[in-house]
């Protein structure tokens, strides 16, 4: 019916369609922004949702204009389907990453600047994009992890209450008693370390006996670093381990 309108009216209706879609798009975009801020959604997630909204607005505009001017919409639909098929066959992994990216952005297993372990990988989250999650790793490199791998891996977020709770282990044999290890090795090493780097930590490191068998015993050392300071963690954790081992070997030399 609209196709039978005079040229002037078609132009007016076209302008009206563009105006209405533009207003609806802006209102929905503002709604997304307000909702995202309220639920603390990552900016990358909001950008992804806006992208989907923009594509839907463009598609709706094209379909309405094609119908109004009686253009062969089957050409548009057929070409779109053909292009979509080629893209689907050629970039299925990319599409899977995009879908997984939306899942990661919406479910929020972690946020930017959180320190996480994703399967066998670990590092500080620097960016959560549609395709990849970027990690700043202990080797001081930026690693791009496909979001499909993120979604299919076990994720451990060790960032809580504003700081990184990083735990590492150290093992010893039974030549030195637990009491002596704690009193002459761990406690002095942790105290010296804490006093040397008090401005870079939020609390003193802690030590726990994790396990013990006939071969030896294993201790867990927990170090506390402010959130977002992975570079400090990568420098301080080896230093703390060196202090502990230094005092341990000094005790062993005294027993010889």
Q: What is the pLDDT of residue 240?
A: 95
CA angle 43, 48, 50 (to 5 degrees): 95
**Closest C-alpha among 242, 42, 208, 232 to residue 130:** 42
Distance, in Å, from the CA atom of 77 to the CA atom of 83, rounded to the nearest integer, reads 10
**What is the tens place of the pLDDT at every residue in 110-121?**
989 999 999 999
The angle that helices 73-90 and 43-68 make with each other, rounded to 10 degrees, is 150
Distance, in Å, from the CA atom of 100 to the CA atom of 94, rounded to the nearest integer, reads 10
Q: What is the pLDDT of residue 81?
A: 60
Q: What is the pLDDT of residue 246?
A: 95
Q: pLDDT confidence of 137, banded at 50, 70, 90?
A: very high
| Average of per-residue pLDDT across 87-108 | 68
Q: Do residues 64 and 17 make contact, with C-beta atoms less than 8 angstroms apart?
A: yes
Do 105-157 and 163-255 agree at the fold level?
no
DSSP string, 123-141: EEEEEE-SSEEEEE-TTS-
- What does the domain layout of the chain look like in residue ranges? 2-90, 105-157, 163-255
Report CA 89 to chain centroid distance, whole Å.
Answer: 28
User: Given a cut of 60, is residue 89 above it in pLDDT?
Assistant: no
Q: Is the dihedral of CA 214, 218, 180, 249 positive or negative?
A: positive
Q: What is the pLDDT of residue 21?
A: 87
Q: Do residues 200 and 236 make contact, with C-beta atoms less than 8 angstroms apart?
A: yes
**What is the tens place of the pLDDT at every residue in 148-188?**
999 999 999 999 888 999 999 999 999 999 999 999 999 99
More confident position, 122 or 34: 122
**Closest C-alpha among 104, 101, 105, 125 to residue 114:** 125
Distance, in Å, from the CA atom of 237 to the CA atom of 223, rounded to the nearest integer, reads 7
**What is the tens place of the pLDDT at every residue in 177-222?**
999 999 999 999 999 999 999 887 778 999 999 999 988 999 999 9
Q: Do residues 98 and 31 make contact, with C-beta atoms less than 8 angstroms apart?
A: no
Above pLDDT 70, what percent of the chain? 82
Q: What is the pLDDT of residue 92?
A: 58
Q: CA–CA distance from 67 to each of 54, 70, 166, 196 (Å)?
A: 20, 5, 61, 73
- H-only helix segments in the chain: 7-38, 43-68, 73-90, 92-107, 147-152, 178-181, 187-196, 230-255
**Closest C-alpha among 165, 118, 170 to residue 146:** 118
Q: What is the pLDDT of residue 186?
A: 95
**Token pair for residue 192?**
């010296």
User: Given a cut of 90, is residue 52 above it in pLDDT?
Assistant: no
**Closest C-alpha among 144, 141, 139 to residue 128:** 144
83-92, 138-147, 241-250: which range is least confident on average?
Answer: 83-92
Q: What is the pLDDT of residue 95?
A: 67
Mean predicted lDDT score pLDDT of the chain: 83
**What is the tens place of the pLDDT at every residue in 7-30?**
777 778 778 888 888 888 888 888
Fold of 105-157: SH3 type barrels. (2.30.30)
Q: What is the pLDDT of residue 90?
A: 46
The CATH number of the domain covering residues in 163-255: 3.30.70.100
């Amino acid at each position: 019916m609209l196709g039978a309108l005079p040229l002037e009216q078609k132009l007016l209706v076209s302008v009206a369609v563009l105006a209405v879609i533009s207003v609806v798009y802006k209102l929905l975009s503002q709604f997304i922004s307000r909702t995202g801020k309220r639920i603390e959604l990552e900016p990358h997630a909001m950008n992804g949702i806006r992208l989907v909204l923009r594509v839907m607005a463009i598609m709706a505009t094209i379909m309405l204009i094609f119908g109004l001017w009686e253009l062969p919409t089957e050409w548009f639909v057929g070409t779109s389907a053909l292009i979509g098929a080629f893209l689907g066959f050629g970039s299925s992994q990319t599409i899977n990453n995009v879908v997984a990216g939306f899942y990661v952005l919406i479910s929020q297993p972690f946020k930017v600047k959180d320190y996480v372990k994703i399967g066998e990988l670990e590092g500080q989250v620097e960016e959560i994009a549609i395709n990849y999650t970027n990690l700043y790793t202990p080797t001081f490199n930026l690693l791009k992890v496909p979001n499909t791998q993120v979604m299919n891996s076990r994720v451990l977020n060790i960032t809580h209450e504003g700081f990184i709770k990083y735990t590492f282990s150290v093992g010893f044999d039974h030549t030195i008693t637990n009491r002596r290890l704690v009193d002459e090795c761990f406690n002095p090493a942790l105290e010296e370390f804490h006093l040397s780097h008090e401005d870079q930590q939020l609390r003193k490191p802690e030590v726990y006996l994790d396990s013990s068998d006939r071969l030896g015993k294993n201790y867990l050392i927990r170090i506390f670093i402010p959130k977002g300071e992975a570079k400090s963690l990568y420098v301080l954790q080896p230093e703390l381990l060196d202090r502990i081992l230094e005092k341990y070997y000094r005790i062993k030399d005294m027993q010889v």
